[in-house]
Structure 1
Amino acid sequence: MSALVCVARIGAAHGVRGAVKLWTFTEDPFAVRRYGPLLSKDGKRQFEVATAREAKDHLVATFKGVATRDDAERLNGIELYVPRERLPATDEDEYYHTDLIGLAAVTTDGEPLGRVLAIHNFGAGDIIEIAPLKGATMLLPFSNAVVPEVDLKGERVVIALPQEIEGDRDEDEAR
């Protein structure tokens, strides 16, 4: 089986008939219904979306075989995956976050920085996590200003390191 890509996360139970809040990570939230069975991270459990409707910032969904609130509550927090080959092809300048994991990170001058560990989103936009060749892990905004180039064929991302990060100065310097 190919690499698995996380496409959704199950949230809290919704109502008493087995529905759950479902946060999707796809451009079209309803695409999770078209990918066939969704898998748990270890691939041992399968989930098939029976119904889905739009809510404020998520979907309210039911899964086949989940009929009670108790059943739904046990699913809270499960991330749902699909094999990479089931996802649509990307355009020339598009990519899936999973395609970036492990790529080399270099400065705009071509100097090696490290490798891409992960892409996170804590609610205020994407963050790229870089495991540097030395020093502490870097968390940087995943924006065009900081990541001006993603080169999948060259297996690298170019990082324009910010000149100064607020709160990064020495206290003596600030006085």
Structure 2
Amino acid sequence: MSALVCVARIGAAHGVRGAVKLWTFTEDPFAVRRYGPLSTKDGRRQFEIAEVREARDHLVATFKGVATRDEAERLNGIELYVPRDKLPATDEDEYYHTDLIGLAAVTTGGDALGRVVAIHNFGAGDIIEIAPPKGPTMLLPFSNAVVPEVDIGGGRVVIALPQEIEGEDAQSASRSHDREDS
């Protein structure tokens, strides 16, 4: 079976006729209509979009079988998935997060760092999370400078570890000293 990819998240109810806010994670927000039924990650529930329209920073959607605000409110927060093989092929230097999860992470010198466990985006660009065999995970910018090579076929990503910023510790100490004097 193909891996599942999260393509949308249902938000709050919108209006009184069963509509919901829908945040999509696809390049074309309306692409969610083309993938057929959307399901929860565990596959226990399926949702078929009846209608969808654009709103300011999200879509407003209705699902078949959801007709009231109460029914719509119970869907808030549900993530919607499709099988990976239903999604279009990616361009060069574009990746689905699911294709990166589990890849080995190695340094430019070939030393093992761990495995890719997640890709995050907190608003300032993608972050790659790498879990070493022991210790805390590393969060690094997912940029060409830090991740110069992604070899999905070879099962690895190459990481150019960023250097520490010179003077950062001295500046931090100076600022904390200034606060103590106040």
- The structure carrying a bigger helix percent of its residues is 2
Cross-structure match for 2:58: 58
How big is the shift at 1:141?
1.4
Query: Counterpart of 1:105 in structure 2: which amino acid?
Result: A
Deviations 1:116-152 (A, max 9, x none): 0011122222111100133211111111221111111
Partner Cα distance (1:88, 1:167) in 2: 46
| Structure 2 unaligned spans of 5+ | 175-182
Deviation at 1:94, TM superposition (A): 2.6
When residues 127 and 166 of structure 1 are mapped into structure 2, their CA distance, relative to the original with a 3 A threshold, is: farther
Relative to structure 1, the CA distance from residue 170 to residue 135 in structure 2 (aligned partners, 3 Å threshold; closer, same or farther) is farther
Match of 1:16 in 2: 16
Corresponding residue of 1:80:
80
TM-score, normalising length: structure 2? 0.88
Which residue does 1:162 correspond to in 2?
A: 162
Residue in structure 2 matched with residue 103 of structure 1 by the alignment? 103
- C-alpha distance in 1 between matches for 2:81 and 2:40: 6
C-alpha distance 137-10 of structure 1, shift in aligned 2 (>3 A):
same
Q: Counterpart amino acid of 2:106? A: V
CA RMSD in angstroms comes to: 2.1
Alignment correspondent of 2:137: 137
Which position in structure 1 is the counterpart of 2:128?
128
What count of residue pairs does the alignment treat as equivalent?
174
| Percent of pairs with identical residues | 86
Unaligned 5+ segments in structure 1 are: none
TM-score by length of 1: 0.91
Equivalent residue, structure 2, for 1:27: 27
Match of 2:5 in 1: 5
Q: Secondary structure at the match of 2:30?
A: helix
Query: Which AA in structure 1 matches 2:48?
Result: E
